[in-house]
Structure 1
Amino acid sequence: MKIILITYVTPTPDNFNAASALSFHLCKYRPANIELEIYSFNGNNVPQNVIQHIEKELNASIHIVPTNKYINYLFKTHTIFLKNFLPYPFNYYNSLSPEIVEKINNKKPDAIWVNGDFMLKVLNQFEGYKKVLTMPDCVCLYYDRLLKDGWCRQSWLKGLGNRIQAVKNKQLEKKYPTTNIIYHLVGEADKQYLLNVNKGLDAHFIRHPHYNYTDKKNISFSKTKIKILIAGQYNLYMFTAFNEILPELCNHKDIANDYSITFLGKEWNFAVKKLQEAGYEANQISFVDVYLDEITKYDIQLTPISVGTGTKGKVLDALANGLLVIGTPYAMENIAVENNKSCVIYKDATQLISVLKEIPYEKAKYEAIAVEGRKCVLTEHNREKVSKELFGLFSRV
């Protein structure tokens, strides 16, 4: 089967300036009978020399196509805030030139796969084909959760800007075509929310594939201080949930001797300082060249996510690589793990502290949970398995 992928971001092994790893792993581990050719708007600005390497990895040609020149102007002039005055989200305004559409038609593909929310103009340029749109999250659900979170209550401007975007996104999701197209999402709640917005859609939830992993890591907690990793930036996704646990961590100085805490990401200086003042060994690493090599140095990943949709790639990374993952319900949603069997889900800061107090005295119990977590993810989020499910959708259109 010959499939043309049209994507807003160029696929990369790890997320590069955008959520670009999902499409990479779906492409790389596709069934042998799938012939693939890629047209990318390169919204994540992947350098040409890297693209050439990715073409070899994916065994697929990648053609870079121009994005909307007016949207480009907003980015170049740092006036992207003007998007609030556009009728729809800016992804909507990207489309292919008539010449490129003709080229694709002349290749006589069996199906068109579009990767990126709101690329309706692109979808409408190809009539008469089997079509699948990988969203991969429901943006309306994202804004619904965000507007209820403390992040938006920091200022009326944040609240207003996000409310404007929420209305635009809902208007557009209501316009999604309901015939001859399948919608692919990596979140069950995302799928249900999308169907509430637009009941006629043929929407499917497929688990998110895990990314790169090593099976060399021996799951055995450090003998001195147990090493905790918090991965990701201090931004809207962790803002509220982290702010809830930080005071509790600082107040319970009795566990400071049992743990070291490392933040892998930016904007954590304030947290490092407060934890150090409370007696913890804490530090921040802003960037690493090889993410996998870094995360396998730790025993536990703590993931206090308060806003988000779909599946959290960094949680999958940690589970697949043998870390015990402790997190909020949003951190674990859509992942094939179960509380206290293959991960630990906490409901509030008090419960988290109780777990952290218990772990040093019950290491074997929690190491076994980490072992089961890795097993579940490597089985249920297996890249070949998930890719086969995705490409199986084309036979249903």
Structure 2
Amino acid sequence: MNITCITGYTPTPENKRGISALIYWLINGRPEYVHIKLYTYNINDIPDNEIYEIANQLKIEIYKIDLPYWYKKINKSFLNKFTDLFQIRPLITYIRPDKKILKELEKSDAIWIYPYFFYNYAKLLPHKTFIITGCDCLSNVCTTRISDLFYLKKYFRGIRQFLIRYNCTKLEKEFNRPNITMHYVGMSDLMFYKRLHKADNAFFLLHPHYGLKNKDIRFNTDKLDILIAGEYNHYMICDTDEMVEEMIHLKDLQKLIKITFLGKNWEKVKETLVNAGYDCEHKKWVNNYAEEIIKHDVQISPISHGAGTKGKVLDSIGNGLLTIGSKYALENICVRHKESCILYKYASEIPAILRSIALNKERYENMAQKGRSQILKYHNPTRISKRFFEIISKKI
């Protein structure tokens, strides 16, 4: 089976300046009968020497495509930021393939688009089979945002999300075409898309895990080592602030835990906790993400809205960290509350959960071990990739 892939992001083993890891692991685990030629717009700006190495690792052909001059000019201008609310489609979706690429696409058994940016290619080749890896249902993402306090507290933020949701809904109608099959890594995304657009051209598969490290799951004998990974932004602000507000009043918890923030914009949160007596560290960046996270015992994922599968949460559980998360953090991951993860209802519950872990380490070490086993079994890249390409083969 010969597949041509058109991607915005050059595949990489871990997300690098964009959502580049999902496609890497889907390709890496593919069956032998699948041959892939990949064209990348390289939005994540991977150097040529790395692209060459990745092509060798994946045993595929990779060709770079230059982003059009008009796109680069407008995308960097103030005008684009000012008009994004009034664009029914994101600017990147207006890019059209040149004639050489269209000829290559004609030769393929199927055409794989990642992510949805280049869905319009399916209009140009209505007789060809297209698979579009979403990854998320755009209108579902916007719907969860509208109900989040971060947007409800600010009138213009909320209005902006309503406008974006309206535009995303109109855009997604274009995906419901006879020659397109949508692939989502979120079950709620799949169901939302099907119900909203009365579509039956989509499927869901679990998100494959990334490269995992061998970690001896044994919690720190001194203080429980807590990790909070990701950027302190609209996804994590509300639940983080609720958790911190509870923590600053708990003097006994200071003796039981130490916290590492990994990502941007955590300075004020760290300062608040340090002033309250907590042992905290902040790292904006590390060279090897997996090597860093396995140094810790527990990861907190205080995500208050979103859709699809959260890569950093999957990374955390798969690498042996006991993971505490919201329903949005843990959705679409094959773990169960109190067996292989801890699901909180309100972020104010997190400090009490941490106290329980610190005082019952062996019990929670077993829980972390169960979580890792679940990820290794059900999120295995080879297993998921095999199923992905089986589905494509039936569409041809």
Same fold (TM over 0.5): yes
Equivalent-residue separation in structure 1 for 2:358 and 2:175 (angstroms): 51
Say if 2:72 is the partner of 1:72.
Answer: yes
Equivalent-residue separation in structure 1 for 2:122 and 2:10 (angstroms): 18
Q: Deviations over 1:256-305 (max 9, x none)?
A: 11100000001000111111111110010000000011001000001000
User: CA 1:349–1:159 in 2, change beyond 3 Å: closer, same or farther?
Assistant: closer
Equivalent-residue separation in structure 1 for 2:280 and 2:345 (angstroms): 24
Q: Is the 8 A contact 2:122 2:128 kept in 1?
A: no
Q: Which moved more, 1:349-358 or 1:264-273?
A: 349-358
Q: Which moved more, 1:125-134 or 1:342-351?
A: 125-134
Q: Deviations over 1:19-70 (max 9, x none)?
A: 1110011111111111111011222222222211211111111112233443
Q: Is the 8 A contact 1:132 1:393 kept in 2?
A: no
Q: Is the 8 A contact 2:176 2:201 kept in 1?
A: no
Q: Is the 8 A contact 1:7 1:116 kept in 2?
A: yes
Q: Deviations over 1:76-133 (max 9, x none)?
A: 334431322323122321221122211332xx22111111124221222333223211
What is aligned with 2:319?
A: 321
User: CA 1:282–1:352 in 2, change beyond 3 Å: closer, same or farther?
Assistant: same
Q: Is the 8 A contact 1:114 1:123 kept in 2?
A: no
Equivalent-residue separation in structure 2 for 1:78 and 1:55 (angstroms): 36
- Tell me the secondary structure at the aligned position of residue 307 of structure 2: coil
What is aligned with 1:48?
A: 48
What is aligned with 1:382?
A: 380
What is aligned with 2:61?
A: 61
Q: Which moved more, 1:338-347 or 1:82-91?
A: 82-91
Say if 2:47 is the partner of 1:23.
Answer: no
> Which amino acid in the other structure matches residue 203 of structure 2?
H
> Which amino acid in the other structure matches residue 158 of structure 1?
R
Runs of at least 5 residues in structure 2 that lack an aligned partner in the other structure: none
Say if 2:367 is the partner of 1:369.
Answer: yes
User: CA 1:79–1:262 in 2, change beyond 3 Å: closer, same or farther?
Assistant: farther
Q: Give the TM-score, by structure 2 length.
A: 0.96
What is aligned with 2:129?
A: 130
Equivalent-residue separation in structure 1 for 2:79 and 2:303 (angstroms): 30
What is aligned with 2:8?
A: 8
What is aligned with 1:274?
A: 272
Q: Is the 8 A contact 1:213 1:321 kept in 2?
A: yes
Equivalent-residue separation in structure 2 for 1:154 and 1:41 (angstroms): 38
Runs of at least 5 residues in structure 1 that lack an aligned partner in the other structure: none
Instruction: Give the alignment's Cα RMSD to 1 decimal.
Output: 1.5
Equivalent-residue separation in structure 2 for 1:155 and 1:47 (angstroms): 40
What is aligned with 1:304?
A: 302
- Tell me the secondary structure at the aligned position of residue 144 of structure 2: helix
> Which amino acid in the other structure matches residue 257 of structure 2?
Y
What is aligned with 2:233?
A: 235
Aligned length: 394
What is aligned with 1:340?
A: 338
Equivalent-residue separation in structure 1 for 2:247 and 2:179 (angstroms): 52
> Which amino acid in the other structure matches residue 88 of structure 2?
P
Equivalent-residue separation in structure 2 for 1:180 and 1:87 (angstroms): 22
Q: Is the 8 A contact 1:182 1:393 kept in 2?
A: no
- Tell me the secondary structure at the aligned position of residue 92 of structure 2: helix
What is aligned with 2:144?
A: 145
- Tell me the secondary structure at the aligned position of residue 251 of structure 1: coil
Q: Which moved more, 1:43-52 or 1:32-41?
A: 43-52
- Tell me the secondary structure at the aligned position of residue 124 of structure 1: helix
1:124-203 matches, within 5 Å, as: 124-153=123-152, 155-203=154-202
Equivalent-residue separation in structure 2 for 1:116 and 1:212 (angstroms): 21
Q: Is the 8 A contact 1:179 1:201 kept in 2?
A: no
1:203-218 matches, within 5 Å, as: 203-215=202-214, 217-218=215-216
Equivalent-residue separation in structure 2 for 1:111 and 1:63 (angstroms): 18
Q: Is the 8 A contact 2:105 2:111 kept in 1?
A: no
> Which amino acid in the other structure matches residue 208 of structure 1?
H
Q: Quick one: percent identity of the two aligned structures?
A: 34
- Tell me the secondary structure at the aligned position of residue 113 of structure 1: strand
Q: Which moved more, 1:350-359 or 1:162-171?
A: 350-359
Offset of 1:243 from its aligned partner? 1.4
Q: Is the 8 A contact 1:324 1:367 kept in 2?
A: yes
Offset of 1:377 from its aligned partner? 0.3
Q: Which moved more, 1:359-368 or 1:332-341?
A: 359-368
What is aligned with 1:294?
A: 292
What is aligned with 1:102?
A: 103
Offset of 1:135 from its aligned partner? 0.5
1:230-269 matches, within 5 Å, as: 230-269=228-267
